[in-house]
Amino acid sequence: MHLTAYALYCILMVVSWIVEMGDDFEPEFNNLHVEVRNEILAHARLLKQFGPLLGVLALTPWTSRATRI
């Protein structure tokens, strides 16, 4: 099956990715300092929004430099 650019865009950008916390991690997470928990949750929200594109090198529209998101 051949994926069109539109189909690939829909898979990567339109789909809302599911981020779950494992049962084994939850007690450890609850014992972390509130600032650390907030940082983990912020990264989880980014992962939910960008899915597999998070951390991929991307060219910014205003420069030719590669930046990490």
Give the model confidence (pLDDT) of 52-66 as tens digits: 777 664 544 545 454
Query: What 8-state DSSP symbol labels residue 33?
Result: -
54: left (phi over 0), alpha (psi -120 to 50) or beta: beta
Res 59: pLDDT:
47
Each residue's pLDDT tens digit, 3-26: 666 666 666 666 678 888 899 999
| pLDDT for residue 69 | 47
